[in-house]
Structure 1
Amino acid sequence: MAHIRSRKHTHSSHLLALFAATLPAAAMAQETETSLPPMTVKAAADVPFKAEKSANSKLTQPLLDTPQTVQVIKKEVLQEQGATSLMEALRNTPGITMQLGENGNTSAGDTFQMRGFSTQTATFVDGIRDLGAVSRDVFNIEQIEVVKGPAGSDIGRGASSGYINLISKLPGLDSINTASVAVGTANKTRLSADFNQKVGETAAVRVNVMAQDGGVDGRDEVKNSGIAIAPAFALGLGTPTRFYFYSQHVRQNNTPDGGIPTIGVDGFVSTNAFLKNGGKVDRENYYGSKNDYEKVDADMVTAKFEHDLSNGATVRNITRYGITKMDRVMTGINTLAATSADPSTWTVARLRQRTDQENEIFANQTSLNAEFATGFVKHSLAAGVELMYERQKTRSFGTGAATINGVTYAAIANPVANLYNPDSSTTLGTPYATGAYVDGKTTTAAFYLFDTLKLSERWMINGGFRAEHYKTTTEGRTVVTANNLLLYPGYAVNDLAPDNLEVSDNLFSWKVGAVYKPAANGSIYAAYANSLTPPGGANFALSASSSSTSNPAFDPQETINMEIGTKWDLLDKRLNLALAVYRTENDKQVSYNAVDSTYSQFGKTRVEGVELSAVGQLTNFWQVSAGIAQMRTKALDNYSFSTTNGVTSSTGVRWSPDLTATLWTSYTLGDLTLGGGVRYVSEQKRLITGDSAAATNMPNIPSYWVTDLMAAYKLSKNTNLRLNVYNLFDEEYISTLNNSGARMTLGTPRSAMLSANFTF
C-alpha cells in the first residue's frame, strides 16, 4: 500500500468529494434514500529506491521472480547522492571495482570489473551496446540496471560476468519540468534541466540538457568540462501504437589526469635504497603539461516503435546509429630515479601518450513479447532478431626517433619531472602519427527466444537462448619491431606492415532457471547460464600473436555460471531483500605450456561469491539501498612466459577484493531530509604471480572506508536545496592503481556540492 506524502488530492478524491456534495440534494428529491457501500481508495505504490520490473523487455517477470541477480539503481538514488557519472552511480552496487588502465599512462574512461571480470565493453543503452573509452554522464538516465552473472543469451558475446544497461529518459504525458544548479569545491559548477511537455492528447516532447565546468578535488590543473543535450519526442502515447524518436549529443573538453607516483604510501616497495624510504608526494601534484587535453564528441540517434496487438502481445523495433570520437594527449608517469639522499634531486619519468579513437555502431532490433497458455501452463514469451554493425578505429602514435616506412621522425622531448615539485609549464612534445592503425569491424545477426513457463502458483521455469553469427575483420598497419619481426616475413624493423585478419563463427548462448514461490511475496531460485567471448570480441582488434586471446585461430572462451538465491518483498512490498550464492568459471583461456613452449587454451578462472542486498523503505519516510558481496577468485593452470622472468603462474584475479559493501539511506522529517552512506572495499591485489620483478612499487590497493553525508530542505512546493559532503572524514585512499603499481589516483578528499533543484 502506498503512503501519500503530500496533501494533494488525486483525481479520484476530487470526484468522490463532488459526488458526496450532491448527495443531500439528491436525497431531498427522492422519497427513498440509497445507501452506498463504504469505499477504500489505495494509491499506487511509490517506493523511490525500489523497482518492481526491469525496463528490459527480455526480462519478462517482476524482479522478485527473475532467477538472476538484477539491481536497479533509480534516478532518485542518484539525485540524493549528487552522482553525475556512471562510475559514481555504480558505487551503489557491491562487487564492482574501478581500474586505472594498463601499465604506462592509459586512461580509459569507464573502466571497471564486476565479479572478477572486465565489464566496460558490456555497457548498453536501452539494450544496445555502447562503445567508446569515455566517461559517461547520467543526466539523461532514468535508471541503471546491473545484471550479474554470464548473460550471453541476453546480449551476446563477452558477457562473462554480466552487463550494465542504461535506460534513457523518454517523453511522457505528464508535463513536469525540473532544473538543477549546483556549485561545489574545486570551482565546480553544473547545470542540468529536464523539460517534458505534453503536446495534444497523445504526443509529448522532452529535452534534457547538461553543462558543467570545474576542477577536480585534490588535483591541480585537472579539469572536466562538458555540455550535452538529449531531445526526444513521442507520438501515440496512451494508444496501442507508439513511436519515439530521441537522440543524445555530448561534447567534453577535459584536462586528463595521469596520476601521481605511489612512493611513500604504506606498502610501497623499491630496490633503490633512497626511494624505498621516500616520503609521499603532494596529492595535488600534476606531472603533465598544461597543453594536455581530452576531447570527446559522442552522438547517438534512436527511433523506437511499439505496437500492442489485439491478443495482448507487443511488437517493438528499435534502430540506432551512434558515433563517438575521442582525441586525447596525456602525460603519465612511471620510473623513479634517485642518485643521492637529497629528495629535491629525485625525478620521475614522464610518458606522453596520444589516443585517437573512433567508435561507430548501427543496430536494428525487432522483438515480440506475448503471454498465452498451452493447457494449464501459462507462457511469457520474448523473442527477437538483432542486426548490428560495430566498428572501432584506433590510430597509433610514437615519441622516439625512428624511420618508419621510409619516413624519418625526430624524437619527442620528454624531460623528467622533479618528483616533489613538478612543473606543468615545461614544454612537452606531442606524439607523432606513425601511420599505423587498427580498424576493426564486427557484423552480427542474432535470434533470441526466452520463455517463462508458469506451471502453478508455486512453480515457474525460465529458459532461453541466443543464436548468432558474427564476422570480425581487422584491417590495419603495424610498425615492425624486433619483438614482432617474425610475424611479418619479408619486412624489416621500422617497416609499416599490413595487418589484415578475419574470423567468423556461430555462437550459441543459453540460460535456464527454476523459481519456487513459498509465498506470494517471496521466491527461491536456481539458475544455470553460459556466455561466449570470441577472439577480438572486445575491440575487434585481431592479432597474429600466438599468446594473444585475440588470435583468430583460438576458440571462443566460455563462461559457465551457477547461481542459487532467494528474494523477498517485505513491509507491504516496500522493501526487497535478496541473497545470491554463485560460482562462475571461465574456460579456454590462453596459457603457456612449458613442455612444448607453445600457447594453448587450457587456462581457467574461477570466481565464487555471496551477495546480499536490501532496497526500499523501512518506514514511510526512511529509504535504504544496501549491499554486501564476498568474493573469492582463483586462476587455474594460468601460465605466461617472458624472457625476463621465465614462466610465471597466476594465482588469482587483479582488482578483485574479497569483500565490498555499500549503504545509502535517507530519512525525511517534514521539509528536511537527512541522508548518508558508507562504502567499504577490502584489499585489491595487483601482484597475483610469483614474479619477483613485479614486486616493486605498490603490490596492492589497501582496504578503505568512505563516508558521505547529505542534507536537503524543501524551501517551497517547487524549490529544494541539497548539500552533499563527500568523504566526510577526509580518508586518504587509493581509488585506482595501474598495472605496474607505479602510479595511482587517490580517492576524492573531503569535498562538497550545494544544489538548488526546481520543479515547475
Structure 2
Amino acid sequence: MNHIKSRKHPTALVRTSQGMGAAAAVSMAAFAAPAMAQTTAAPQRLPEVRVQTNADVPYKADSVALPKFTQPLVDTPQTITVIRKEIMEQQVATTLTEALRNTPGITLQLGENGNTQTGDSIFMRGFDTSGSIFVDGIRDLGNISRDVFNIEQVEVVKGPSGSDNGRGTSSGYINLVSKTPGLEAFNNGSVSAGTDNRLRATADLNKPLDLSIPGSALRLNLMAQDFGTPGRDYVKSKRVGFAPSIAFGLGTPTRTYFNYLYIDQNNRPDGGVPTYGLPGYIGARGPRVDSENYYGSRSDYDDIKLHMFTARFEHDFAPGTTLRNTTRLGNTEQDYVLTGVNAVTATAANPAAWTVARSRQGRHQTNSIFTNQTNLTTEFQTGALKHSLSTGVELIYERQNQTNGSVVGPAQAAANLYAPSVNDVFRPLTTTGAYTRGSTLSAAAYAFDTIKLSEQWLINGGLRFERFNTETNGATYTAAAGATPASLAQNPQLKVNDNLTSWKLGTVFKPAPNGSVYVTVSNSYQPPGGTNFQLGTGTNNNNPALALTPQKGSNVELGTKWDLLDGKLATTAAIYRAENKNELVSDGLTPATFNQIGKRRVDGVELGAVGQITPALNISAGFAYMDPKIIQGVVNGANANQGGVIVFSPRRTFTSWVTYRLPIGLTIGGGVRYVSPTATSSNQVVTSGVTGTQDYTVVDALLSYPVSKNVSLQLNVNNLFDKNYIASVNNGRSRYIPGVSRNALLTANLKF
C-alpha cells in the first residue's frame, strides 16, 4: 500500500450538481436504449435471478441480492443474516433500527453533546457500523432514521467489508434491498393505529404495463406516518414517502429498471434523559428521574428530505453470464435543532430545586452521492475446476456539507431536574458562518471467484483495489472575548489520497449437499476522514500532516451452516475473532502524545436459526456472545483504558420471533429479546456518570386473523411486561434514551 500523501493547496478537481445530473441523464439514455430496441417479437426467455426464496417459507432467504456473492447462503463462508419483509410486516417495523432487532450482536449509541445521533447509530460486533449502511449495494450516508416501507429485505453481512465495498470497519455492513416491479399484478396496503397517538398507512401497488416493450411493469410504494413515541413526552416522528419504479424487459435477456425514492420527515428529536439516579450512577444522592421527562422545546425539530434516483441495466449474454450497470444520484438534507441534557447540580437541600444543564445544538447537513457500478457475473470451467466469477468496477463521488448552529452569548438556562418545562425560555441558535465541506472521490476494481474443486470442496476469494482522494475545507468561528470582535477564520484545505487493497479468502467443505463447514479470513481499511470526510490539523484527529496509515480491520471465522427439514430451516454457527488496529491513541501524559498503536479485539460466537419447522410454525432466532477488549490503548492518566472493555458491546444478546397458525386461521406469535449488561466507559477507573447499563429482557406479542381473502387484522403489543431499560447512552454517560414502554398497534392489512 502506498504511503498517504498530503496536500494543503486547493485542487483543480471540481464536481458540480449540474455535472452529476448531466451524467445521470446520459447514463439513463444509455440504459434505456437496449430496452427500447426490444420489439414485440418473441424474445429469448431466460430465468431472472434476484432474491431467491421459498414461497412457502416466509422467513428464510436462500441467497442475498448482492451480485458479489456467487453462491447460496449455505455455501457462503461468512455470517449473513437476512431479514425479510414478512418479518418486518408482522412486527410492524417502520425503521431500519427496528428491523435490526432480528439479528443479535447489534446495539445503539446516542453520541456526544455536539453530535447527538438522530439516526441509525449502529454498533455491530463491537465496532461503529453507522458509516457502513448500503442501499442496493451503494453506500447510503447521512445521520438519519431510515424507513423500510420500500425495502424487500435487510441483509446483515458480518465481518470486514473491504473487498465488498471499500472503506469500512471490521464489524461488517448492512444492505437494504429495494422493492422492484414484477410481472404479477397486486395491490397491497396497510393502515395502523395505536397507543401514543400513532397512525401509519402504506401502499404497495404493482401493475404490468401493456406497452410495445415486452415485460414492462410499474410499482408504486407510498407511506404516511404520524407517530408519538411510547413512554416519551413530546417526541414524535412524522414522515411521508413516495417510491415509484418502472421496469422494462422483465422475463427477457435485457432488463432495465428506473427507481426514485423521496422521503420527507418532520420529527421532534429526543435529546435524552439524565442518567442521574440510575443503577451504577456514580455520586447519585437522589431518585432517578421520570423517563418520560422531556427537556427540550416544542420548537425543536429534525427535518429531513431525501431524494434518490437509481437506474439499473441488466443483460444476460448466456445462462449464468449477466452484465449489470447501476447509476445512482442521491441527496439527503437534514436540518435540526435539539436540546440535550448535561451535568446535574444537586447542591440544594431540597431535591425539588435540583437542576440539569442543557445545551442547544443545531446542524444543517447535506450528503450527496453520484456513483456508477458495472458488474459481470459468469460461470466457466478451467480443466476440472468450475468457476463462479463476479467482477466489476465502481466510480463513486461522495460529498458532505455541514454548518452548525450555536448559542451566541449567554448559555441556555438549566432545567429543573425532576420537573422540566417546555414553556421555559429557550435560547435561539445562530448560524455563525462556520462550515465544514468534505468529499471523497474513489475508483475501484474488484473480482470474486468461487472455485469448485469437487462436490465437497469450494474455495471462495475476493480482491478489491481502490484509489481514493478525500478533501476537506471549512471555516472556524471564534466567539467574542471582551472587546475583541468575533472572527471567522478560513481553515487550510486538507487532502489525503491513497491506494487500498482489500481481500477475503474462504474454504468450504460440504459433508452433505445441504450443509457446509467453512473457515474464512478477511480484512478492511478505514482511511483518515473515511467516515465523515472531515480532516483536521490537530494531533488527535485525522491530520494529513501526521501521515497516518488507515485503520486496519481483520476477521477470522470458523463456522458451519445446515439447511434442515427439506431445506426449510437454515441453521448457522460460527466463532470469530475481529480486530481493529492502527487506532490513534494518547499516551495519557501532559502534554499528550498521540501514536497509531491502538488495537481493539472482539472474540465471539454466533448462532442462528430461521425458517419453517412445520407448515404452521415459523421461527427466526439468534444468539451472540462477545468478549470485547482493548488490547492496546491509553496506559497513563485518568483516561487509561488498556485492558478495558469496548463500550456499547454486551457480552450476550438473544433475539427471537416465532409465529404459529392455528387451524381456525388465527396466528399467534411473538418474540423475546435479551441484552446483557453493557459498559458505557472503557476507562479502568470511572469517576462520573453511569458506569454501564443493566441487562434487560423485552417480550413482544402478535395476534393476526384473516377476516376475508382481502382483509386481515393484526394486533401487536410491544414490551408486553413494560420493562424499563436503556436503549442507548451518550459517550459522556450523562444522558440516555429510554426503551419504548408498553404499547399496542392495530393494523388492517389489505390485499386486492
Say yes or no: TM over 0.5.
yes
Counterpart selection for 1:520 from 513, 516, 532: 513
Q: Please state how far the C-alpha of 1:563 moved relative to its aligned partner.
A: 0.3
- 1:447 paired residue number: 445
Q: Please state how far the C-alpha of 1:594 moved relative to its aligned partner.
A: 6.2
Describe the shift of the 1:44–1:660 C-alpha distance in structure 2 as closer, same or farther (beyond 3 A): closer
One-letter code of the match for 1:478? T
Determine whether 1:712 maps to 2:710: no
- 2:157 paired residue number: 147
Counterpart selection for 2:85 from 75, 88, 111: 75
Counterpart selection for 1:617 from 603, 612, 621: 612
Q: Which moved more, 1:69-78 or 1:586-595?
A: 586-595
Determine whether 1:243 maps to 2:276: no
- 1:172 paired residue number: 182
Determine whether 1:59 maps to 2:69: yes
Determine whether 1:590 maps to 2:584: yes
Q: Please state how far the C-alpha of 1:357 moved relative to its aligned partner.
A: 0.5
Counterpart selection for 1:468 from 458, 466, 479: 466
Determine whether 1:283 maps to 2:278: no
Q: Please state how far the C-alpha of 1:513 moved relative to its aligned partner.
A: 0.3
Q: Please state how far the C-alpha of 1:339 moved relative to its aligned partner.
A: 2.4
Determine whether 1:637 maps to 2:632: yes
Counterpart selection for 2:691 from 689, 699, 722: 699
One-letter code of the match for 1:370? T
Determine whether 1:93 maps to 2:103: yes
- 2:566 paired residue number: 572
- 1:15 paired residue number: none
Contact 2:394–2:443 (Cα < 8 Å) also in 1: yes
Determine whether 1:339 maps to 2:333: no
Q: Which moved more, 1:189-198 or 1:276-285?
A: 276-285
- 1:188 paired residue number: 198
**Equivalent-residue separation in structure 2 for 1:400 and 1:301 (angstroms):** 39
**Equivalent-residue separation in structure 2 for 1:710 and 1:594 (angstroms):** 52
Q: 1:231-630 maps to which residues of 2 (within 5 A)?
A: 231-270=244-283, 276-310=284-318, 312-401=320-409, 411=410, 414-479=412-477, 494-549=487-542, 551=544, 553-593=547-587, 597-630=592-625
One-letter code of the match for 1:525? Y
Contact 1:545–1:551 (Cα < 8 Å) also in 2: no
Q: Which moved more, 1:622-631 or 1:260-269?
A: 260-269
Contact 1:105–1:351 (Cα < 8 Å) also in 2: no
Contact 1:593–1:599 (Cα < 8 Å) also in 2: yes
Describe the shift of the 1:559–1:378 C-alpha distance in structure 2 as closer, same or farther (beyond 3 A): same
Contact 2:640–2:684 (Cα < 8 Å) also in 1: no
Counterpart selection for 1:729 from 718, 721, 740: 721
Contact 2:496–2:544 (Cα < 8 Å) also in 1: no
Determine whether 1:746 maps to 2:738: yes
In our comparison, the structure showing a higher alpha carbon Rg is: 1
Secondary structure at 2:90 match in 1 = helix
Q: Please state how far the C-alpha of 1:648 moved relative to its aligned partner.
A: 5.5
Q: Please state how far the C-alpha of 1:105 moved relative to its aligned partner.
A: 6.7
One-letter code of the match for 1:555? T
**Equivalent-residue separation in structure 1 for 2:94 and 2:496 (angstroms):** 39
Q: Please state how far the C-alpha of 1:415 moved relative to its aligned partner.
A: 1.4
**Equivalent-residue separation in structure 2 for 1:239 and 1:104 (angstroms):** 53
Describe the shift of the 1:528–1:647 C-alpha distance in structure 2 as closer, same or farther (beyond 3 A): closer
**Equivalent-residue separation in structure 2 for 1:360 and 1:227 (angstroms):** 21
Secondary structure at 1:89 match in 2 = helix
Describe the shift of the 1:379–1:105 C-alpha distance in structure 2 as closer, same or farther (beyond 3 A): closer
Q: Please state how far the C-alpha of 1:586 moved relative to its aligned partner.
A: 1.1
**Equivalent-residue separation in structure 1 for 2:635 and 2:363 (angstroms):** 28
Secondary structure at 1:441 match in 2 = strand
Q: Which runs of 5+ in 2 are unaligned?
A: 1-52
**Equivalent-residue separation in structure 2 for 1:755 and 1:177 (angstroms):** 16
Q: Please state how far the C-alpha of 1:731 moved relative to its aligned partner.
A: 0.6
Contact 1:57–1:369 (Cα < 8 Å) also in 2: yes
Determine whether 1:209 maps to 2:217: no
- 2:241 paired residue number: 228
**Equivalent-residue separation in structure 1 for 2:200 and 2:269 (angstroms):** 19
Q: Please state how far the C-alpha of 1:697 moved relative to its aligned partner.
A: 2.0
**Equivalent-residue separation in structure 1 for 2:383 and 2:458 (angstroms):** 15
Describe the shift of the 1:44–1:647 C-alpha distance in structure 2 as closer, same or farther (beyond 3 A): closer
Q: Please state how far the C-alpha of 1:382 moved relative to its aligned partner.
A: 0.1
**Equivalent-residue separation in structure 1 for 2:335 and 2:408 (angstroms):** 20
Secondary structure at 2:237 match in 1 = coil
- 2:681 paired residue number: 687
Q: Over the residues paired in the alignment, what is the CA RMSD in angstroms?
A: 1.9
**Equivalent-residue separation in structure 2 for 1:669 and 1:580 (angstroms):** 34
**Equivalent-residue separation in structure 1 for 2:96 and 2:295 (angstroms):** 27
Point out which structure has higher relative CO (alpha carbons under 8 A, 6+ apart). Answer: 2
Q: Please state how far the C-alpha of 1:481 moved relative to its aligned partner.
A: 8.5
- 1:27 paired residue number: none
Describe the shift of the 1:225–1:45 C-alpha distance in structure 2 as closer, same or farther (beyond 3 A): closer
Secondary structure at 1:146 match in 2 = strand
**Equivalent-residue separation in structure 2 for 1:290 and 1:568 (angstroms):** 53
Q: Please state how far the C-alpha of 1:148 moved relative to its aligned partner.
A: 0.1
**Equivalent-residue separation in structure 2 for 1:311 and 1:187 (angstroms):** 53
Contact 1:219–1:283 (Cα < 8 Å) also in 2: yes
- 1:40 paired residue number: none
**Equivalent-residue separation in structure 2 for 1:380 and 1:243 (angstroms):** 24
**Equivalent-residue separation in structure 2 for 1:220 and 1:721 (angstroms):** 29
Describe the shift of the 1:691–1:550 C-alpha distance in structure 2 as closer, same or farther (beyond 3 A): farther
Q: Please state how far the C-alpha of 1:495 moved relative to its aligned partner.
A: 4.8
- 1:657 paired residue number: 650
Q: Please state how far the C-alpha of 1:646 moved relative to its aligned partner.
A: 6.9
Describe the shift of the 1:649–1:311 C-alpha distance in structure 2 as closer, same or farther (beyond 3 A): closer
**Equivalent-residue separation in structure 2 for 1:441 and 1:45 (angstroms):** 43
Contact 1:105–1:332 (Cα < 8 Å) also in 2: no
CA deviation map 1:322-375 (0-9, x unaligned): 000000001111111122221111111111000110100001000100001111
CA deviation map 1:418-447 (0-9, x unaligned): 111111012212221121111000001000
Determine whether 1:157 maps to 2:167: yes
Task: Give me the TM-score of the superposition, normalised by structure 1.
Answer: 0.89
Contact 2:361–2:404 (Cα < 8 Å) also in 1: no
- 2:30 paired residue number: none
**Equivalent-residue separation in structure 2 for 1:328 and 1:560 (angstroms):** 36
**Equivalent-residue separation in structure 1 for 2:745 and 2:54 (angstroms):** 34
Secondary structure at 2:287 match in 1 = coil
Q: Which moved more, 1:328-337 or 1:543-552?
A: 543-552
**Equivalent-residue separation in structure 2 for 1:349 and 1:187 (angstroms):** 30
Contact 1:639–1:650 (Cα < 8 Å) also in 2: no
Contact 1:227–1:252 (Cα < 8 Å) also in 2: yes
**Equivalent-residue separation in structure 2 for 1:678 and 1:235 (angstroms):** 43
Secondary structure at 1:218 match in 2 = coil
Q: Which runs of 5+ in 1 are unaligned?
A: 1-42, 271-275, 402-410, 483-490
Task: Give me the TM-score of the superposition, normalised by structure 2.
Answer: 0.90
Contact 1:361–1:389 (Cα < 8 Å) also in 2: yes
Q: Please state how far the C-alpha of 1:103 moved relative to its aligned partner.
A: 4.1
Q: Please state how far the C-alpha of 1:591 moved relative to its aligned partner.
A: 2.0
**Equivalent-residue separation in structure 2 for 1:630 and 1:56 (angstroms):** 27
One-letter code of the match for 1:428? F
Contact 1:549–1:590 (Cα < 8 Å) also in 2: no
